Amino acid sequence: MAQLPGVHREFVRAAMAAPFLEREEEHQLALRWRDAQDQKALDQLAASHMRLVIALAARFRHYGLPIADVIQEGHVGLLEAAARFDPHREVRFSTYATWWIRAAIQDYILRNWSIVRGGTSSTQKALFFNLRRLRAQMAASADVEKTTLYDRIGKAVGVSSADVELMSARFSGPDISLNGPISGDDASDSAERGDFLVDDRPLPDETVGEDIDSERRHAMLNDALSHLSERELRIVRERRLAEDAATLEELGAQLGISKERVRQIESRALDKLRKLLESRV
C-alpha cells in the first residue's frame, strides 16, 4: 500500500507486518477476550486487523480530513466490533468488523467534514457518501439537465431532489469563516465577512431586560392610576393614554365643566402621578 500522507511510516509498516490469523487462531483469541477479558488476546486480534482499518480509511481520504484521525476512528470501530463479536458464529472477524470500521469512519466524517451539521438519517448518509459517484455516473451516461440529474439521484438514494441539490451545493465549496478577510474595492484590508452581517436588533439580554423593565413600569403606572379619583382617571386616560387624545373642550362638554377646569384637574392628576411614581422609584 502506498504511503498515506499524514500517517507515520512506522505505524503503517507495523500494521502491514502483523501476521494474518488462521480461522482457529482467530476463534481462540475471540473466545479469550469474550470469556476472560484477556487484554493480550484483544491486542493481538486488533493488531492483526489494522491493515483492514488502513485500507478502509484510505477510501475516505478525499474528504479533506487528516487521514491519521480517520484511521484512529476506524480503530475505534474495530474495538467496538471486537467487543460485540460472537466467535461461535460461522463468520470471520474481518467480515464482521468491516461494517463497524466503516460506520465509525463515516460518523467521524459526517461530524467533522463541515461546521454545518448535515442529516444523520441512513438515506442522508447514503446521499453524502454516494453523491459524487452517482453524479459522475449519471452525468456521463447521458446529457441531462441539472434538475433531471438531481431527480434521478434522489430516486436512486431515496431522498428528494431538493436534498440532492442542497448536498451538491455543500460539496461545491468549503466552509468560509466569518472572520476571514474580504478583498475588494469597497472594503479595507482589515474588513472581515462578519462585519457585513451585523444584526442591529438588541442582544437577547437587552431584550429580556427591556421586557422586565416594561412590566415593572406598567405595574407601577397601574398602581399609581388606582390612587386617582374617578374624574381624574377619566381625564388622564382620555387626554394622555388614548390613541386619539380628546380636547379640553370635548371633555369639558362631557363632564359639564369648563375647559379650564379640565386643564386644572389634569394638571393636578399628573402631578399626583409623578409624586407617586417618584416615591416608588
**What is the DSSP annotation of 160-207?**
-HHHHHHHHHHHTS----TTSB--STTS-TT-BGGGG----SPPHHHH
Query: Are 192 and 178 contacting, i.e. CB atoms less than 8 angstroms apart?
Result: yes
- Spell out the long-range contacts of 138-142 with Cβ–Cβ below 8 A and sequence spacing 24 or more: none
Q: Lowest-confidence range among 27-41, 51-65, 178-192, 232-246?
A: 178-192
H/E element, 15 = helix 9-17
Query: Are 272 and 232 contacting, i.e. CB atoms less than 8 angstroms apart?
Result: yes
HEC-encoded secondary structure of 22-61: CHHHHHHHHHHHHHHCCHHHHHHHHHCCHHHHHHHHHCCH
- For residue 4, the model assigns a pLDDT of 65
- For residue 74, the model assigns a pLDDT of 93
**For 175, phi and psi rounded to 5 degrees?**
-65, 145
- For residue 223, the model assigns a pLDDT of 87
277: burial class by Cβ within 10 Å (0-12, 13-18, 19+)?
Answer: middle
pLDDT per position as a tens digit, 196-233: 777 778 888 888 888 888 898 888 888 888 888 999 99
Q: How far apart are CA 253 and CA 240, in angstroms?
A: 18
pLDDT per position as a tens digit, 125-142: 666 666 666 766 666 555
Q: Which residue from 97, 77, 74 is spatially nearest to 85, judged by alpha carbons?
A: 97
